[in-house]
């Protein structure tokens, strides 16, 4: 299936990174497990900010809850301390507990000091509800083994679309899923990368907008969909950058993800859980306290953030489109199906 750029849809004015993916940020890796058989349409996506011990060497991080109809875990500590100390897991709503338990075990195996000679660990698991249409979510088909497989699958190339946590997701009445994009920026002569990964599961078909063109109603007419359901889906946006940023600045970046989501037509309905999490790989925060208790970090000046704000908006918009274009048509439970956005090339401006 094609990406947005394969179709000539260049979003914004900033250049993408070499892979046009979150893995353009050095050290970031993505691993996935896809469960796709009959009514089981779900999975796990794992994002590893670096290949070392995240517990011993944490990253600055921040969360922005755009609409809080969600069941993710770990946000309270991220909000309080401004750090990330585990990989990030994405899955379906009713598998958050399983994923969290598996992530804790993964961290305990890597760090024998956790809960023994030092504190406990804060697992961060994010979710969207794939049971609204395609997946038998009540079956709770994601197991701890699947989580471990996803964590082990990184690093390496990763697929987009109806894969991993995105297997059973829907977006704008079409097939949603995992999508990614990146942007390269130069600030005062220094080059940085901003990478985005989304789990898209939101929006009404009548609202879908692609590069400013309101094509949702045209698709709805072609598909003979006259009903306009409430927006009750969700989207998770993960932002990574190698720019030196504080947790406060990362929260400012995460807030801009909302503009990228809105450009595709979503209005963050009451029943939607829309969440952005941002982290910086530029500097690591040691778990162990230094002898003098002092930490020193570089930080971009606030006036240097504008290009990164633009990068967040552009890459979020493009990642959403990629999640829908890469997604294969999917048949799920009770014979329900979702069509790919790629099935309408003429409405996208290409035939």
The residues annotated as belonging to the active site are 234, 272, 274
Of all helices (H) and strands (E), which one includes residue 308?
helix 306-325
Taking the C-alpha atoms of residue 171 and residue 82, their distance in angstroms, rounded to an integer, is: 31
Question: 3-state DSSP call for residue 302?
Answer: helix
Q: Which residue has the tokens 């029943």?
A: 271
Residue 347 has, within 13 A of its CA and on its CB side, a CA count of 20
Which secondary structure element, helix H or strand E, spans residue 177, and what is its range?
strand 177-187
What order of strands is seen across the sheet that includes strand 124-128? 29-37, 40-48, 88-92, 124-128
Structure tokens belonging to residue 253:
């970046």
Between CA 153 and CA 178 the distance in angstroms is 16
**Helix H segments across 55-143?**
75-81, 96-110
Reading phi first (left if > 0) and then psi (alpha if -120 to 50, else beta), residue 115 is in left
3-state secondary structure of 289: coil
Cis status of the peptide bond prior to 91, with omega within 30 of 0: no
For residues 175 and 36, is the Cβ–Cβ distance under 8 A?
A: no
The H or E element spanning position 260 is: helix 247-263
3-state secondary structure of 310: helix
Q: How far apart are CA 115 and CA 154, in angstroms?
A: 26
């Amino acid at each position: 299936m094609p990406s947005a750029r394969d179709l000539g849809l260049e979003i914004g004015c900033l250049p993408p990174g070499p892979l046009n993916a979150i893995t353009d940020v050095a050290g970031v890796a993505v691993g996935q497990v896809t469960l796709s058989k009959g009514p089981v349409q779900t999975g796990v996506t794992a994002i590893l900010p670096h290949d070392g011990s995240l517990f011993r060497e944490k990253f600055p991080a921040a969360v922005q809850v755009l609409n809080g109809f969600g069941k993710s875990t770990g946000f309270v500590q991220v909000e309080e301390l401004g750090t990330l100390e585990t990989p990030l897991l994405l899955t379906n709503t009713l598998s958050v507990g399983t994923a969290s338990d598996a992530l804790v075990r993964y961290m305990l195996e890597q760090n024998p000091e956790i809960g023994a000679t030092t504190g406990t660990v804060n697992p961060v698991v994010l979710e969207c509800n794939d049971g609204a249409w395609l997946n038998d979510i009540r079956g709770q088909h994601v197991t701890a083994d699947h989580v471990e497989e996803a964590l082990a699958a990184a690093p390496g190339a990763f697929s987009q679309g109806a894969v991993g946590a995105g297997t059973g997701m829907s977006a704008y009445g079409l097939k949603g899923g995992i999508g990614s994009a990146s942007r390269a920026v130069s600030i005062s002569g220094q080059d940085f990368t901003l990478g985005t990964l989304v789990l898209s599961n939101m929006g009404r078909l009548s609202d879908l907008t692609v590069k400013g063109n309101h094509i949702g109603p045209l698709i709805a007419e072609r598909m003979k969909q006259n009903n306009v359901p409430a927006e009750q889906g969700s989207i998770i946006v993960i932002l990574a950058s190698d720019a030196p940023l504080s947790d406060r600045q990362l929260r400012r970046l995460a807030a801009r993800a909302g503009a990228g989501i809105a450009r595709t037509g979503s209005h963050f309905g009451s029943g939607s859980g829309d969440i952005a999490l941002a982290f910086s790989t530029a500097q690591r925060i040691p778990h162990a306290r230094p002898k003098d208790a002092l930490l020193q970090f570089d930080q971009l000046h606030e006036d240097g953030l504008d290009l990164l704000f633009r990068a967040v908006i552009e890459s979020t918009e493009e990642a959403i489109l990629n999640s829908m274009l890469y997604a294969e048509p999917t048949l799920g439970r009770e014979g329900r199906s979702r069509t790919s956005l790629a099935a309408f090339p003429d409405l996208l401006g290409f035939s």
